Structures are given as structure tokens and as C-alpha cells.
Amino acid sequence: MDSASEQEAYFAEVSSEYADSYTNPQTIMDHEKVHRLQVALSLAPLDDSERVLNVGVGGGELAQFVPPSLHERIVGFDFSRAMIEQARRRRPDGTFVQGVVQDIPLGDGAVDTVLCLGVVGYLDPAELREAIEELYRVSDVTVVLSFANAASPFRRARQGYYYVFLDTLKRLSGLGEPLTHRYRSYDPEMVIELLEAAGFSVTDRAYLTYSSGLSNTPIHRRLYRFFERRLSQSDRAGPLAMTWVVKAEKRDHDG
């Protein structure tokens, strides 16, 4: 993981833009994030949860995708103070906690359900193991987790473009700021092994984004929606998907 100061500076810079990407999605990457959240919500038992922890609260976008009756049950959690400030503007009366996912300042089993979306990519392998163990500790039943699939050719294409081609071009030309962070991708089997080692059973999964995300034409967006509808539940197509969303439940709650 990049240094804490670099991470904080990055999130402070993008916090306003990040919040707007859900309210008014423009690029195909914005649409991908919105769809990821919608799919995650379809897996999460929010109606049966007295308390929900939204890890990586971002700009508080979850509030616009769930009924107002659920708002008071949600605790927003984020590493970035700037992100929490954005979320608080959306929900002035909301509950928010700042910290790192490897050390969440809540008690054991404090929440029924955890949503952890878009966070894994900012953790190195050791931090990811600690984070999953911490999610197990604070959750009473369910965790819904998203992560980037390292095996996907579409994911490799996107990362090659941003982290090799575009970053090198910026450094050589002096046009634009070089990237100060990296978004990690992981082997899905490794993530599942970590979940199971912590005490979870993976009970459902969805596979998202069958595109590089580098083009934002109307045709590309239509193709994106077509493939998402057709392939999001296909285990055979799962290895190609850039993003996995998994639902994991504590084993003593199975059945």
C-alpha cells in the first residue's frame, strides 16, 4: 500500500469527483461502479440487518440506492477524512467512523452486515489478510466484498494502459501528474481462501465488467450493459470478469 499520507492526499483530491460519479455517471467506469454497488446490494440482506457497516463509504453514495428507512441503520466507515466529509454532506445526521479496515473501532459482532466495495485494491496482501479477519470480527452474519480479478485480460489491459503506458507517457512528457497510487488486483481463489481461513463460507458471487473501460462511446456502453446482463451470474465467464463481488457468511450461521 502507498504511504498513508499519499493515500490521504489522493482521496482528498478525488473526493468531490468520486461522489459525483455515482450521482451523475458520465464515463463507462462510472457506470461500472454504479452497477457494482447495485449488484452488491442485491446480495446483501439489508432488510434483515439491524446495523450495516459501509466500509469505504466514499461520498455516501449508498444512501441514494437504499430506501430512506434504512439510512439510520448504516454506519459509514472510511480511511479518508475528505471522503467522510463528502458523505456527511449527503447525510448530515448519519453516523461515520474514520480508521483503517485492518483495525475497525467497533466491538465484536457489532453489525449484522458489512459492505466492503472498492477497498481491497488499496491493500497489500498482508493488509488484506488482516482486513478480512477484522471484517469477520465486527460482522455478526454477512460480508459482501468486491475486488479486482487479477486473471482477467480486461483488467490487465486497463492496468497496463493506466500504470504502464499512460504513467510512462506522463513522466516522459511532463504533461500531467504521474500516478501516486496503484489499485491492486487479486487472484479470486486467494481471496476466497482468506475468507474461508477467517471463518467465512462464500455463499454467492457475481462477475462484473467485461470490457477494458478505456472507451466511453454509446456503442461501448450498450455492449457493456448487454454483457453485464448476460454474464454476471456465469461461472464459466467469471475468470474473464474484471471485478468479482462475493457474499460470505460466518460458518456458524450457515443454514
For residue 247, the number of C-alpha atoms closer than 13 Å in the C-beta half-sphere is: 17
Look at residue 188 in the predicted model and tell me its pLDDT: 97
Tell me the β-bridge partners of 146. Answer: 245
Q: How far apart are alpha carbons 224 and 210 in whole angstroms?
A: 7
Q: How far apart are alpha carbons 182 and 57 in whole angstroms?
A: 19
Cell of 174: 511532463
Tens digits of residue pLDDT in 87-143: 998 899 999 999 999 999 999 999 999 999 999 999 999 999 999 999 999 999 999
Q: Contact, 93 vs 73, CB < 8 A?
A: no
Query: Which structural domain range is residue 84 located in?
Result: 4-253
Q: How far apart are alpha carbons 225 and 235 in whole angstroms?
A: 18
3-state secondary structure 19-41: HHHHHCCCCHHHHHHHHHHHHHH
Q: How far apart are alpha carbons 105 and 127 in whole angstroms?
A: 16
205: domain CATH number is 3.40.50.150
Look at residue 252 in the predicted model and tell me its pLDDT: 75
Q: Contact, 244 vs 186, CB < 8 A?
A: no
Mean pLDDT value across the chain: 88
Tens digits of residue pLDDT in 212-244: 666 777 887 788 888 888 888 899 999 999 999
What is the tally of structural domains in the chain?
A: 1
Phi, psi of 164, deg, nearest 5:
-115, -65
